Amino acid sequence: MSWLTPVLGILLLGVLAGLVFLERQRRRLEEALREARRAHRELEAGRDRMAAWLEGLRPGGVEALLLLDRDRRILWANRPAMEQLNARPGRALLEAIPSPELEALLKAPGAMEVRWRDRWWLGTSWTWPGGWGLALVDITRQREAERARRELTANVAHDLRTPLTTIRLLLDELKPAGPLPASWERLTGELDRLIRLVNTLLDLARLEAGEWPLAYEALEIRPWVQSWIERLAPLWQARGLTVQLDLPEGLRVWADSEWAGRALGNLLDNAIRFTPPGGEVRVRAWSEGEWVAIEVSDTGPGIPPEDLPRIFERFYRRDRHRGGGGSGLGLAIARHAVEAHGGRIQAFSEPGQGARFVFTLPAVSEEA
């Protein structure tokens, strides 16, 4: 039995080693549990801080406010969210508000209009350590007012077009022989400007209402932009401007040449008119996956920060890009033309540093 002693010793050492291992694992589990509890406390504290911050936004006009966990369940909701949207803590958000736009908003945090129960909401989402935050503002009245304004504008423009055209034809019949006086030239010039304005308003109303079907075609960026630069050459050459182009070969977009051209042409005209003599206008383009981004920039005086949020509104005219004697429709047309293609348009500027306008159009795939 002499062999039994070493065997028992080995077994005893094994048992001791196992006990040491188990003790270490126990300590690790306790440490992990403490860490999990600490993280949970921090998460709850963060949720409470976020909830308090969101409640503080309520007087500023934000209506429905929600905090979601990573599974998109509602952790917290303010009273308007619970009363108007039936979004109560514990429920899955998309169960309470089954909206495709809301689901898209959570997949790509940002801002989007959401349609729910015959009302329009402007939704803004963001991420936080515990999941998502969501703010919804009821914009139904604004949308209805916008629709009424569009209809009124279209009706007025339609009623004006016929008499203005008649007056223009009568002026042609009454045109005096010989050299025309300056007053006559001014009269016909202003009348033509009014006719163009009315036609633009009608076109814009049809585009906004989706009544103008877009004729898509593949446009190669470089020759397309160059054709617009040549078309506007008398304007930028008269001001002594330099035009710089950075346009890759072979880059193509899928767009309606007329409406995409209106967007590009208005931005170029805008940059030319507000760049001082001797300045520079730049146009560049680049690929962004399924989109092509086009940028028009200048070395003009820039846009005041208070004007940037409203720069694409129709008839909004201030010192710079909506002034200068224009109709105040150029940038509004550019915005609606780009959005009709599913793209986006943005303005960037700092006073005294010029302005940049960037818009996107659908890219033509390599297989097309």
Q: Which residues of the chain have pLDDT under 50?
A: 7, 53, 56-61, 319-325
In whole angstroms, give the CA distance from residue 166 to residue 39.
76
Residue 209 DSSP label = T
DSSP string, 85-112: H---TTSBHHHHS--HHHHHHHHS-SEE
User: Same topology for domains 140-207 and 215-360, yes or no?
Assistant: no
Listed in sequence order, the DSSP H helices in the chain are: 4-57, 79-85, 93-96, 100-107, 140-173, 182-208, 221-231, 233-238, 257-273, 330-340
pLDDT at 317: 61
pLDDT at 322: 38
What digits encode the pLDDT tens for the residues 15-27?
A: 555 556 566 766 7
pLDDT at 141: 85
pTM: 0.59
Domain ranges of the chain: 55-139, 140-207, 215-360
What digits encode the pLDDT tens for the residues 113-148?
A: 888 888 888 888 888 888 888 888 888 888 787 777
C-alpha angle 125/129/130, rounded to 5°?
A: 80
In whole angstroms, give the CA distance from residue 285 to residue 253.
11
Nearest alpha carbon to residue 89 among 66, 58, 56, 55: 66
pLDDT at 59: 44
CATH fold for the domain made of 215-360: Heat Shock Protein 90 (3.30.565)
CATH fold for the domain made of 55-139: Beta-Lactamase (3.30.450)
Output the six-digit token pair for 3.
Answer: 């062999």
Do the Cβ atoms of 293 and 360 come closer than 8 Å? yes
CATH fold for the domain made of 140-207: Helix Hairpins (1.10.287)
Residues β-bridged to residue 359: 294, 345
Residue 311 DSSP label = T
Residue 176 DSSP label = P
